[in-house]
Chains A and B, each alone.
Chain A
Amino acid sequence: MDRKITPVSKIFLVIIFFILYAPIFFLIFYSFNSGGNMNNFEGFTFDWYKELFQDTRLLIIVLNTLVVALLAALFSTIIGVMGALGIHAARRRQTKNTLLSINNVLIVSPDVIIGASFLVLFTMAGIKLGFYSVLLSHIAFCVPIVVLMVLPKLSEMSPTLLDAARDLGASRLDVITKVVLPYITPGIFAGFFMALTFSLDDFAVTFFVTGNGFSTLSVEIYSLARRGISLNINALSTLLFLFTLILVVIYYFINQRQQKPVLGGRK
């Protein structure tokens, strides 16, 4: 293969990276603007950050978002891992494929459909729109993601490993707790982490199923943005960007750990 990258290709890549990152840094840059808009940078200020930290309403929303994301990730990981174990254990190929297709429905469904249909579901079931409806929806759309993150780890696990554990006297529960779960731990972490980011990022589904009293960050940003520019949002996005970077670094390390044994195995 031609390993060299021509200068033209380099410029192309630079432009792509510039376009991808420019809006983000644009937001961060103007978060320090004393001018109050995103057009002229008048002077450097931390005012918007100060204002942000005094806005108790917004802080509560941030807290809500985090609580929902953590709980959703936790529950969806538990359900998803159990589901992945079940799908993996299915003997018949057809059962497996059917379960997988059903699993993927919520992943390929547009957010609007998920949001609208959950709204109908909660209304029919008589669940009041608010914290619980949002949490349940987030758990629901995170479950298939966890399954998809855990399944490859399960199928990469050699079946003789389970035979070996049985052979050495392990009961079925021992096999799961002492062999399977430790083996798929990286997949579980990746699933949890993915669920966390999906929940934090979600706007459309939450927008449908949240009531008047409850709001998450995405929904709040939407309603602020509809009202126009406010540099509070810029300050907020700087913080969120840093937070995302931290998550990315954590995720990168989880991935690295996941890859190490594979590389070692090739020696």
Chain B
Amino acid sequence: MENKVTRQLYMVPYVLWIVLFVIAPILLVLYYSFFNIEGQLSLDNYQKFFTPVYLKMTLSSFWYAFLITAITLLVAYPTAYLLTKTKHKHLWLLLIIVPSWINLLLKAYAFLGIFGTFGAANQFLELIGIGTQQILFTDFSFIFVSVYIFIPFMILPIFNSLNQLNPTLLDAANDLGASKWMTFKRVIFPLTIDGVKSGCQVVFIPALSLFMLTRLIAGNRVITLGTAIEQHFLVTQDWGMGSTIAVFLIIFMFLIMFLTGTKKRGV
């Protein structure tokens, strides 16, 4: 069977990739999570994870991720909806996507200037009489910048599902006597729920694990699971604890994927 051999032959690099870069890293992280800082095999790290310090951090990380996702959704859904009604909708969509292709760090850096003590935002506040505020290194700036960064990622899947919506369905709903709000509630939203789900997925999971924003914008006031992992791996060199948090993050990730999983996933 010449064809079977060739088929397997060209799968070799890809399968190698799966084994080396998908399966092996996860197993290694799992493996490391069982070693405490002295390099002994133990469950210390898992015990530590269930202490109030780490549980509180996990909870707050979830809380921030939830806030970021919710606000992003609130902004992105109407935007996507309005975009589908514009004339050159694909061009406008592209223009929404362009900022997401600008290096993330540069955008974060821009906000250092805008939100700085003498930055544009404070000049504006001064102008309308509120006066200079501490904006940088607050929860507000962290959430604002995160939402700013994630908006395009949320708009894209919602736009796609809105765009696939058959317009005659709306006519049908109208025809059957539904008001605009009813049409939205009963027809548009249920039919675009898959887009909303995948949008939330692509925002929530990264929002759990942001770390450069917490450092640059939130000035270490906010500690997410991501920050904690980075801290353990690159600063305190406690790979075991870092791996343990990573294991939990992976578990959360699969849970979220499972919860927001859509039936139509896959090609």
A82 to B246, Cβ gap below 8 A?
no
User: Which among B22, B23, B118, B225 has the highest number of chain A CB atoms within 10 Å?
Assistant: B22
A108 to B204, CA, bound (A): 10
Is B69 in contact with chain A by the CB < 8 A criterion? no
A39 to B29, Cβ gap below 8 A?
no
Partner of B17, one of A12, A143, A155, A244: A143
Partner of B171, one of A1, A236, A252: A1
Please classify the interface of chain B as helix (H, G, I), strand (E, B), loop, or mixed, using the class held by over half of its residues.
helix
A217 to B101, CA, bound (A): 14
Please classify the interface of chain A as helix (H, G, I), strand (E, B), loop, or mixed, using the class held by over half of its residues.
helix
Is B178 in contact with chain A by the CB < 8 A criterion? no
Number of A interface residues in the complex (CB < 8 A) = 86
B250 to A113, Cβ gap below 8 A?
yes
Task: Decide: A78 near B83, CB < 8 A? Known: A23-B114, A152-B267.
Answer: no
Interface string of A92-124 (1 = CB under 8 A from B): 000011001111011011111110111111001
Contacts of B202 in A (CB 8 A): 108
User: Which among B113, B114, B123, B242 has the highest number of chain A CB atoms within 10 Å?
Assistant: B113
Interface string of A1-34 (1 = CB under 8 A from B): 1111100010011001101111110110010000
The range of chain B's interface size is 35 or more
Q: Which of B124-172 contact A (CB under 8 A)?
A: 148, 151-152, 167, 170-171
Is B193 in contact with chain A by the CB < 8 A criterion? no
Is A203 in contact with chain B by the CB < 8 A criterion? yes
A5 to B109, Cβ gap below 8 A?
no
A244 to B101, Cβ gap below 8 A?
yes
Q: Which of B89-143 contact A (CB under 8 A)?
A: 94-96, 98-99, 101-114, 116, 118-120, 123
Minimum CB–CB distance from B144 to chain A (whole Å) comes to 9
A124 to B239, CA, bound (A): 12
A116 to B233, Cβ gap below 8 A?
yes
B246 to A116, Cβ gap below 8 A?
yes
Is A211 in contact with chain B by the CB < 8 A criterion? no
Partner of A26, one of B23, B75, B113, B267: B113
Task: Decide: A112 near B229, CB < 8 A? Known: A117-B29, A222-B212, A252-B94.
Answer: yes
Q: Which of A44-52, A53-61, A225-233 contacts B (4 or more CB under 8 A)?
A: A225-233
B105 to A203, Cβ gap below 8 A?
yes
Contacts of A120 in B (CB 8 A): 25, 28-29, 32, 239, 243
B99 to A20, Cβ gap below 8 A?
yes
Task: Decide: A121 near B18, CB < 8 A? Known: A20-B152, A23-B110, A111-B206.
Answer: no
Residue of B nearest to A233 (CB): B109
Contacts of B119 in A (CB 8 A): 38-39
Contacts of A225 in B (CB 8 A): 105, 108-109, 112, 216
Partner of A79, one of B17, B28, B102: B17
Is A135 in contact with chain B by the CB < 8 A criterion? no
Contacts of A78 in B (CB 8 A): 13
A108 to B253, Cβ gap below 8 A?
yes
Task: Decide: A112 near B113, CB < 8 A? Known: A97-B266, A152-B267, A172-B3.
Answer: no
Is B70 in contact with chain A by the CB < 8 A criterion? no
Which A residues fall within an 8 A CB radius of B?
Answer: 1-5, 9, 12-13, 16-17, 19-24, 26-27, 30, 37-39, 78-80, 82-83, 85-86, 89, 96-97, 100-103, 105-106, 108-114, 116-121, 124, 140-141, 143, 148, 151-152, 155, 172-173, 197, 200-201, 203-204, 207-208, 217-218, 221-222, 225-226, 228-229, 233, 236-237, 240-241, 244-245, 247-248, 252
A-B CB contact pairs (8 Å), 6 listed: A108-B202, A116-B246, A119-B233, A121-B20, A221-B105, A221-B106
